[in-house]
């Protein structure tokens, strides 16, 4: 198993990499970087903030197809893009081909998206126990039906898929599912180098990304997992030959990572080393954008609380102040608290870098009863699956 911490002596020197634009159907990304959908994180506010720092494709939170078709009020807000988002990207989750097709048809007919991604990688128990997310590709016939229906409904809009290696080490699905997706006409395939059982623990298996890339020649393959820095992204491309990268937890509290990534893929030697003042400004800007997004200062302040630890990781911000920031109730209170910090303090070095977000530990995936007994889907199983599509957001 390979990882960003592996030896790289057998790869070409990083500075010799030539990574050009990435084509996803009719879309051309100057920088081959995609922001991974993260529930409760990649809303319009955070996407706008990341875009202000860098370039790439910035994808929405995971949206449940049934809730979209039923025009759930919260779901309709989640799919709304700011006018500055010139490439509107939405990720859908679903377990029923008809419902997914209807959701895609709606997005296209109402001109609500320029790119649609299907989630087959979510390892969250409430999703997999209903046969969705990372559990679904095991039922390869159903997987193929969903992707084919979605591609047909999308028409000229590029339809992509994101998935994991499989359910666990004994039930790997990524090669078969990748070939099925390519055959169905998807515009790209993104692979997270972990199984559902691994959740976010250990190291992502970059060799799986390389194997998928070697197995599929006519569709771009993007790699995902353990990209904590621009150097990690370049190393992933060098090691696996993938066409681009998908970045998730590595950008938590670090929207400037997208600036680093843009510079790296353009061959520029530039790395953000923000002092505390720059972090304060980014954190404050995030809260401001959340206020606009929610149209509620109170709700924005409640939402920004979960970002405190990520933004100030490694910076000399005391525990009492961190606790106060995590209980902030207004922008005025936020400004008062931030005003007590010494904005002149420099970038503290390696303490702010590296993994972030909860890694967790390997665990037995929650699956529908008898799910692993066959890759075929039987009548009763299909009826039970639709129960999992009731939530507003899948993650």
DSSP 56-102: SEEEEEEEEHHHHHTT-HHHHHHT---TT-SS-EEEEE-S-HHHHHH
Tokens found for residue 228: 């904590």
Predicted confidence at residue 172, as pLDDT, reads 98
Q: Is residue 394 part of a domain?
A: no
Q: Is residue 200 part of a domain?
A: yes
Task: Determine the Cα–Cα distance for residues 64 and 81; give it in Å rounded to an integer.
Answer: 17
Rounded to the nearest 5°, which phi and psi values hold at 245?
-130, 150
CA distances to 68, 107, 289, 291 from 253, rounded to whole Å, are 29, 30, 14, 17
Residues 137 and 250 in one domain: yes
Predicted confidence at residue 382, as pLDDT, reads 72
Residues 138 and 287 in one domain: no
Residues 164 and 311 in one domain: no
Q: Is residue 358 part of a domain?
A: no
Predicted confidence at residue 377, as pLDDT, reads 86
Q: What residues make up the domain containing 99?
A: 20-270+380-385
CA distances to 10, 164, 250, 365 from 369, rounded to whole Å, are 45, 21, 35, 12
Q: Is residue 66 part of a domain?
A: yes
Q: Is residue 240 part of a domain?
A: yes
Task: Determine the Cα–Cα distance for residues 324 and 339; give it in Å rounded to an integer.
Answer: 13
Predicted confidence at residue 14, as pLDDT, reads 47
Residues 168 and 77 in one domain: yes
Residues 307 and 219 in one domain: no
The partner residues of 172 in beta bridges, in order of sequence, read 166
Say if CB 381 and CB 309 are below 8 A apart: no
**CA within 13 Å, CB half, 26:** 9
Residues 293 and 265 in one domain: no
Q: Is residue 31 part of a domain?
A: yes
Burial class (CB in 10 A: 0-12, 13-18, 19+), 278: middle
**Cα torsion angle, 220, 225, 228, 233, sign:** negative
Say if CB 60 and CB 101 are below 8 A apart: no
CATH number of the domain to which 220 belongs: 3.20.20.70
Task: Determine the Cα–Cα distance for residues 132 and 207; give it in Å rounded to an integer.
Answer: 25
User: Cβ atoms within 10 A of the Cβ of 140, count?
Assistant: 17
Say if CB 134 and CB 123 are below 8 A apart: yes
Domains of the chain: total: 2
Residue partners of 186: CB distance under 8 A and separation at least 6: 147, 151, 159, 160, 161, 219
Burial class (CB in 10 A: 0-12, 13-18, 19+), 82: middle
pTM, whole model, 2 decimals? 0.92
Q: Is 18 left (phi over 0), alpha (psi -120 to 50) or beta?
A: beta
Predicted confidence at residue 92, as pLDDT, reads 97
Q: Do β-strands 22-24 and 27-29 pair in parallel, antiparallel, or remain unpaired?
A: antiparallel
Residues 50 and 149 in one domain: yes
Catalytically active residues, by annotation: 122
Residues 306 and 235 in one domain: no
Residue partners of 357: CB distance under 8 A and separation at least 6: 200, 248, 249, 252, 310
Residues 38 and 173 in one domain: yes
Task: Determine the Cα–Cα distance for residues 160 and 21; give it in Å rounded to an integer.
Answer: 17
Residues 228 and 184 in one domain: yes
DSSP strands (E only) in 201-334: 221-224, 244-247
Predicted confidence at residue 6, as pLDDT, reads 30
Predicted confidence at residue 180, as pLDDT, reads 98
Q: Which of 7, 6, 34 is nearest to 265 (CA)?
A: 34
Of all helices (H) and strands (E), which one includes residue 127?
A: helix 125-128
Q: Is residue 123 part of a domain?
A: yes
Q: Is residue 163 part of a domain?
A: yes
Rounded to the nearest 5°, which phi and psi values hold at 149?
-65, -40
CA distances to 26, 47, 265 from 87, rounded to whole Å, are 11, 11, 20
**CA within 13 Å, CB half, 239:** 23
DSSP strands (E only) in the chain: 22-24, 27-29, 33-35, 57-64, 89-93, 115-120, 159-164, 166-168, 171-172, 189-192, 221-224, 244-247
Ranges of residues in the chain with a pLDDT under 70 are 1-18, 383, 386-395
Residues 193 and 335 in one domain: no
Residues 210 and 287 in one domain: no
């Amino acid at each position: 198993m390979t990882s960003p911490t592996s030896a790289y002596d057998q790869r070409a020197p990083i500075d010799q990499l030539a990574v050009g634009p990435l084509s996803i159907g009719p879309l051309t990304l100057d920088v081959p970087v995609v922001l991974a959908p993260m529930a409760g994180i990649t809303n319009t506010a955070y996407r706008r903030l990341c875009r202000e720092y860098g370039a790439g494709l910035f994808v929405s939170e995971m949206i449940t197809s049934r809730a979209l078709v039923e025009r759930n009020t919260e779901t309709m807000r989640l799919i709304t893009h700011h006018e500055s988002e010139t490439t509107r990207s939405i990720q859908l989750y679903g377990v029923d081909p008809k419902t997914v097709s209807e959701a895609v048809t709606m997005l296209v007919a109402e001109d609500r998206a320029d790119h649609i991604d299907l989630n087959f990688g979510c390892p969250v128990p409430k999703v997999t126990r209903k046969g969705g997310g990372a559990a679904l590709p095991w039922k390869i016939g159903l997987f193929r039906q969903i992707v084919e229906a979605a591609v047909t409904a999308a028409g000229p809009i590029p339809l992509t898929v994101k998935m994991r290696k499989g359910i666990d080490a004994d039930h790997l699905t990524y090669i078969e599912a990748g070939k099925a997706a390519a055959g169905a006409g998807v515009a790209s395939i993104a692979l997270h180098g972990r199984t559902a059982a691994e959740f976010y623990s250990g190291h992502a298996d970059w060799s799986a990304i390389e194997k998928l890339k070697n197995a599929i020649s006519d569709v771009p393959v993007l790699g995902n997992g353990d990209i904590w820095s621009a150097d990690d992204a370049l190393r992933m491309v060098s090691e696996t030959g993938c066409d681009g990268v998908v970045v998730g937890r590595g950008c938590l509290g670090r929207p400037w990572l997208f600036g680093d990534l843009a510079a790296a893929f353009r061959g520029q030697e530039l790395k953000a080393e923000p002092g505390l003042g720059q972090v304060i400004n980014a954190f404050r800007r995030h809260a401001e954008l959340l206020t606009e997004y929610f149209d509620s200062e109170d709700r924005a302040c409640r939402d920004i609380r979960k970002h405190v630890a990520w933004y100030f990781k490694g910076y000399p911000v005391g525990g009492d102040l961190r606790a106060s920031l995590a209980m902030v109730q207004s922008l005025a209170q936020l400004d008062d608290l931030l005003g007590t910090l010494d904005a002149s303090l420099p970038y503290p070095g390696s303490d702010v870098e590296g993994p972030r977000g909860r890694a967790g530990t390997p665990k037995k995936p929650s699956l529908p009863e008898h799910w692993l007994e066959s890759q075929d889907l039987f009548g009763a199983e299909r009826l039970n699956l639709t129960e999992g599509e009731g939530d507003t957001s899948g993650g």
